[in-house]
Each structure stands twice: as structure tokens, then as C-alpha cells.
């Protein structure tokens, strides 16, 4: 296949909008996205919003926001299942007409009794097929005034299996699969049925989804077959476990993708980290989005569950922060400084980023660090001054002030050189001058490299604060 023409590969991400997008969902979306991109195919977004009680517009927006943040834009969609009801009804009618589905008038109580009976006989609870038409079989009389459900006529014999792209061959005995309800008494289609019609209509070739859907797959395959549809390939992604080996949940920290934006993680780092959770390319831990697309292959998706590792995420994030340009970081950190009531314009923010980025794990840490320059200046407390600004310190500071005033260039290098020469001249060690300088100029005992801090603060401010002590 040449690389410039789009291939027939079509994947989809099909979230149910019942809450924020969680990490597991984002990772599934990422795999589907990367697979489509790798094959120059099409990535479809489908919103499965038929659960009216649990679906909300806010949740739809949260999904769209999260996908935009991670830069996984769909090529097609979002399609909304609620807008496709006519189509599902049409397919139900077609199946009733061609005999692959049938009306079932058993009441919920009757179905429950059938299940109970099966259970009592030590069998899997199931619908007993009372209304399933078979050649030569007489169906019971239709109960007056009762609206039927529509059931799919599942094959009774044999097995339904597929070669899972991740888990290998999986097979279910058809005798284990009930005749699935595909439409309710009011005509609304059911979940598995909508998925089938959509995957068919949207010409999905590869379904990558969480392995909580493994049990749905044989049912969906049988309906697709009954419709004469081409079967997609399926890959079921194992879940993500928390550091304690339990299923990842809120107990382990944030599971909402956008919470990571709040906490100062870069989307590039998130994509890198999420991709590595359950997928690998040799021992590569750090890779670009382009490399992910180039390398992505379902063969390297892991069969076993992945484990969430916040330390590693921080390490990856620190890497991306370090690798970012100062101006870029400044732009991302500025709103976080504003949130902290600081003024990002008070200072050469890119320079501050350059000073801090080697030691920051998150953008929030950068913002916290930048508050030294962007936040209100609080002079050192009287206690601190009494403790550290003795006569010798004050003499050193005033000498420093005089010489600093005369510096031809106000740069970190020049200031460091001045500090060094003063230490030699006065025969003192760094803390003797460094600490008083920090206290006098920033009000704090600890700061990043003092020369750089002074350079960024600027000559006027530094001299003014020195004069004040
Ligand atoms: N809507 C389903 C979910 O959010 C996914 C369905 C699918 O991928 O087939 O779990």
C-alpha cells in the first residue's frame, strides 16, 4: 500500500457520555486514534448517548474537551446515537421482515420466571425461546394489549469466535447466548444493537475497546452476520490497575483526564505516558506523537493489565517540560500564575521558565516557582532579618549594592562573577553573602540560583530592595 492514499482502515471511539473522560477511556481512544493514523485511515467519534438517564451534554463536552486537549481529533463525527433512532428502527423492521428477529410477548415477570427455572435446573439463566418462531412450531396466542420486545434470533448451535487482536482466539458457545432483546416495547433499540448498526454503517474495520466488552462481542458478531455485514476485527484492551493492583479508581488519585491538565501535566506527556500503558515499542519510554503513530501496532499491545504509576508519569512530564522552549512554557504557565493572583507580565517569564524548568515536574510547580517573581513581594520578617542580617551581612550588602549599581551589564553571569569576587575579597563563604542577598531581595531564604534570580528581577528592583534593608 502506498502511504499517500487513505487506507480503508476505520476505527472508532464510542464513549458513553455519563461523566468525565477517564484515563482508561482516553487510552482506548488513543489506541484507536494511533491505529487509524498509522494506517492513514479514519478515526470516527461516536457518542453513545442512548442511556437518557445517565447521559448529559456536560459529559459530551468533557469528552470533546479531553480529546481536543490530547489532540486526538476525529476525522468523522461526533455522531450521536440519539440522532440515529430512525435508522435503528429501520434495521429492526428489516430483521423482523427477513426473520432474523422476532416479536416476543413474554412479560418481564415471565422472563424472570424462565431465568429462575433455568437457575433451579443448574443452567445459565436465560429466556426459554417461547416466542422464537421455528418451522412447524405454533406460537402462543398474543396477550391482549401487551407490547412486544424484539429479540434477535441467535444461532442455537455451534460457537461464535474471533481472533482478538490483543487476546488471541476467543470463542463462546452459541448455546450460552440468549436471544438478545434488540428493541424495547416502546420500540427503542438496545445498546448492543445500536453498536452493531453503527459499526456496520460507519464501516468500522477495527474495534479497539476495553475488555469489559468481551461478552458483548459474540452477540454483536452474530447480529452483524445476520445482517450480512462485514465483520470488523476486534481487540480488547485489558484494564488499568492502580499501584496497589486494584482496578484504577478515584481512590488512586485523579482519573478524570482534564484533572491532569489542571494539575499541570502537558498533553504531550500524557499521550506518551498513556500510550506506554499497555503498549510498547522495545524499551522506548519517551517518544513523540509522530513516533507513536509510526510505530503503533496492535501486536505490541499487552495481554495483561497495565499498572498506573504516578512517579513515572511525573518523570515523563518532567522530561517534556525540560524539552519545551521557554517561551512555550511561559505561555502555558501564565494562566496558572494569574490563578495564583500573580502577574505574569511583571517579569521576563521565559527567562524564569529557563531558570526553573530543569527541576519542575509539573506546570503548577513552575507557576509556584514563578510566584517569586510574579507574586506580591513580602519583605523578610523581623525575626529572619534579626537572625541573618547582622552588621557584617549589612556591610556586605551595601558593598554589593554599590558594585552592582556600577555593573555595565546586568546579567546572571556578571552578577555571579561579582558575588564570587566579593567572596574572595572578604574571605567569606557563599552563605555569608548569598543568604542575606536572598533575604533582602526576595524575602525568602531559599531561591533558585541567586545570580539568575537577581538578573531576572532587574537592576532597579534589586537596588531598591537592597536600599530598603
Ligand atoms: N460506549 C461503550 C463504553 O463507553 C463503548 C462501546 C464500544 O466501544 O463498543 O464503554
Residue-wise DSSP of 376-390: ---PPPHHHHHHH--
For ligand 1, the distance from its centroid to the CA atom of residue 125, given in whole angstroms, is 25
Name the residue with cell 500500500: 1
Q: Is any ligand 1 atom within 6 A of the Cβ of residue 211?
A: no
**What is the position in ligand 1's atom list of the atom closest to the CA of 220?**
9
Q: Is any ligand 1 atom within 6 A of the Cβ of residue 239?
A: no
C-alpha–C-alpha distance, residues 296 and 289, integer Å: 10
Q: Which helix (H) or strand (E) holds 153?
A: none
Q: Which helix (H) or strand (E) holds 454?
A: helix 450-457
CA dihedral of residues 244, 250, 254, 256 (deg, nearest 10): 130
Q: Is any ligand 1 atom within 6 A of the Cβ of residue 197?
A: no
Closest residue by Cα to residue 14 from 27, 29, 24: 29
Residue 3 confidence (pLDDT) = 46
Closest residue by Cα to residue 196 from 155, 157, 150, 152: 152
> Exposed, middle or buried, 375 (CB in 10 Å: 0-12/13-18/19+)?
middle
C-alpha–C-alpha distance, residues 333 and 335, integer Å: 6
**Number of neighbours of residue 241 by Cβ within 10 angstroms:** 18
**What is the position in ligand 1's atom list of the atom closest to the CA of 212?**
10
For ligand 1, the distance from its centroid to the CA atom of residue 37, given in whole angstroms, is 21
C-alpha–C-alpha distance, residues 160 and 388, integer Å: 79
For ligand 1, the distance from its centroid to the CA atom of residue 184, given in whole angstroms, is 20
Q: Which helix (H) or strand (E) holds 13?
A: strand 10-13
- Kindly state the DSSP code that residue 122 receives in the 8-state scheme: T
Which of the listed residues 12, 48, 54, 221 should we mutate to test ligand 1's pocket, taking the one with most ligand atoms within 8 A of CB? 48
Helix, strand and coil in the chain, % to nearest 5: 50, 10, 35
Specify the 3-state DSSP secondary structure of 34: helix
Q: Is any ligand 1 atom within 6 A of the Cβ of residue 15?
A: yes
C-alpha–C-alpha distance, residues 321 and 334, integer Å: 15
Residue of the nearest CA to atom 6 in ligand 1? 14
C-alpha–C-alpha distance, residues 454 and 465, integer Å: 11
For ligand 1, the distance from its centroid to the CA atom of residue 209, given in whole angstroms, is 7
**What is the position in ligand 1's atom list of the atom closest to the CA of 13?**
8
For ligand 1, the distance from its centroid to the CA atom of residue 99, given in whole angstroms, is 28
- Map out the domains of the chain with their CATH numbers: 10-78+194-240 (3.40.50.620), 86-191 (3.90.800.10), 382-468 (1.10.10.350)
Q: Which helix (H) or strand (E) holds 374?
A: helix 363-374
Which of the listed residues 13, 15, 78 should we mutate to test ligand 1's pocket, taking the one with most ligand atoms within 8 A of CB? 15
| Sequential DSSP letters for 200-242 | HHTT--EEEEEGGGTTHHHHHHHHHHHTTPPPPEEEEE--EEP
Which of the listed residues 10, 14, 29, 191 should we mutate to test ligand 1's pocket, taking the one with most ligand atoms within 8 A of CB? 14
Q: Could you tell me which residues come within 8 angstroms of residue 160 by beta carbon, excluding any fewer than 6 positions away?
A: 171, 172, 174, 177, 218, 221, 222
For ligand 1, the distance from its centroid to the CA atom of residue 379, given in whole angstroms, is 57
Which residues have a catalytic role annotated? 250
Cis preceding linkage at 78, omega within 30: yes
C-alpha–C-alpha distance, residues 294 and 443, integer Å: 51
Q: Is any ligand 1 atom within 6 A of the Cβ of residue 276?
A: no
Name the residue with cell 567569606: 428
Q: How far is CA 324 from the centre of its chain?
A: 21
Name the residue with cell 492514499: 5
Handedness of CA 122, 125, 131, 134 (dihedral sign): negative
**What is the position in ligand 1's atom list of the atom closest to the CA of 199?**
9
Instruction: List the grid coordinates of 321.
Output: 517540560
Annotated binding site: 250
Specify the 3-state DSSP secondary structure of 75: coil
Residue 2 confidence (pLDDT) = 44
Mean pLDDT by 10 residues, the chain (469 residues): 66 97 97 98 97 96 98 98 98 98 97 94 91 96 96 97 98 95 97 98 98 97 98 97 94 94 98 97 97 97 96 98 98 98 97 97 98 95 94 96 97 97 96 96 95 97 94
Q: Which helix (H) or strand (E) holds 407?
A: none
Which of the listed residues 210, 219, 221 should we mutate to test ligand 1's pocket, taking the one with most ligand atoms within 8 A of CB? 210
Annotated binding site for ATP: 250
In angstroms, the first-to-last Cα distance of the chain is: 74
Closest residue by Cα to residue 430 from 440, 416, 442, 443: 416
For ligand 1, the distance from its centroid to the CA atom of residue 14, given in whole angstroms, is 5
- Kindly state the DSSP code that residue 131 receives in the 8-state scheme: T
Q: Is any ligand 1 atom within 6 A of the Cβ of residue 48?
A: yes
* Most distant CA pair in the chain, distance: 111
Beta-strand runs (E) in 75-129: 76-80, 101-104
**What pTM did the predictor assign?**
0.92
Amino acid at each position: 500500500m502506498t502511504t499517500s492514499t487513505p487506507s480503508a482502515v476505520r476505527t472508532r471511539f464510542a464513549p458513553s457520555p455519563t461523566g468525565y473522560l477517564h484515563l482508561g477511556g482516553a487510552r482506548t481512544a488513543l489506541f484507536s486514534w494511533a491505529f487509524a493514523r498509522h494506517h492513514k485511515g479514519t478515526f470516527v467519534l461516536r457518542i453513545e448517548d442512548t442511556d437518557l438517564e445517565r447521559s448529559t451534554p456536560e459529559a459530551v463536552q468533557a469528552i470533546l474537551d479531553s480529546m481536543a486537549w490530547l489532540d486526538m481529533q476525529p476525522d468523522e463525527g461526533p455522531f450521536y446515537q440519539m440522532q440515529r433512532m430512525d435508522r435503528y428502527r429501520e434495521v429492526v423492521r428489516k430483521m423482523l421482515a427477513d426473520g432474523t428477529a422476532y416479536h416476543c410477548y413474554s412479560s418481564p415477570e415471565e422472563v424472570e420466571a424462565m431465568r429462575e427455572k433455568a437457575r433451579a435446573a443448574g443452567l445459565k439463566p436465560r429466556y426459554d425461546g417461547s416466542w422464537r418462531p421455528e418451522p412447524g412450531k405454533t406460537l402462543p396466542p398474543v396477550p391482549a394489549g401487551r407490547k412486544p420486545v424484539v429479540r434477535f434470533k441467535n444461532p442455537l448451535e455451534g460457537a461464535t469466535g474471533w481472533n482478538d487482536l490483543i487476546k488471541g482466539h476467543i470463542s463462546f458457545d452459541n448455546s450460552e447466548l440468549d436471544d438478545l432483546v434488540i428493541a424495547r416495547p416502546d420500540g427503542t433499540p438496545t445498546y448492543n444493537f445500536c453498536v452493531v448498526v453503527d459499526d456496520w454503517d460507519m464501516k468500522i474495520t477495527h474495534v479497539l475497546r476495553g475488555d469489559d466488552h468481551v461478552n458483548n462481542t459474540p452477540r454483536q458478531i452474530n447480529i452483524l452476520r445476520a445482517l450480512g455485514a462485514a465483520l470488523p476485527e476486534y481487540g480488547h484492551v485489558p484494564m488499568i490497575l492502580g499501584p496497589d493492583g486494584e482496578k484504577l479508581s478515584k481512590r488512586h488519585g485523579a482519573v478524570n483526564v482534564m484533572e491532569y491538565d489542571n494539575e499541570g501535566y502537558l498533553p504531550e506527556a500524557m499521550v506518551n505516558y498513556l500510550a506506554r500503558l499497555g503498549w510498547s515499542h522495545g524499551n522506548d519510554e519517551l517518544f513523540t506523537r509522530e513516533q507513536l503513530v509510526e510505530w503503533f501496532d496492535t501486536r505490541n499491545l499487552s495481554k495483561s493489565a497495565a499498572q498506573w504509576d504516578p512517579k513515572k508519569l511525573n518523570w515523563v512530564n518532567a522530561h517534556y517540560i525540560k524539552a519545551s522552549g521557554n517561551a512555550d512554557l511561559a505561555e502555558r504557565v501564565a494562566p496558572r500564575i494569574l490563578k495564583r493572583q500573580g502577574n505574569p507580565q511583571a517579569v521576563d517569564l521565559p527567562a524564569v521558565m529557563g531558570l526553573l524548568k530543569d527541576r519542575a515536574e509539573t506546570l503548577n510547580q513552575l507557576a509556584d516557582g514563578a510566584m517569586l517573581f510574579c507574586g506580591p513581594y513580602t519583605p523578610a520578617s523581623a525575626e529572619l532579618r534579626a537572625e541573618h542580617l547582622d552588621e557584617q551581612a549589612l556591610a556586605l550588602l551595601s558593598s554589593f549594592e554599590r558594585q552592582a549599581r556600577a555593573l555595565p551589564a546586568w546579567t546572571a553571569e556578571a552578577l555571579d562573577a561579582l558575588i564570587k569576587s566579593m567572596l574572595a575579597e572578604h574571605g567569606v563563604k557563599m552563605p555569608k553573602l548569598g543568604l542575606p542577598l536572598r533575604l533582602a531581595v526576595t524575602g525568602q531564604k531559599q531561591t533558585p540560583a541567586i545570580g539568575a534570580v537577581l538578573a531576572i528581577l532587574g537592576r532597579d528592583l534589586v537596588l531598591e530592595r537592597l536600599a530598603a534593608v
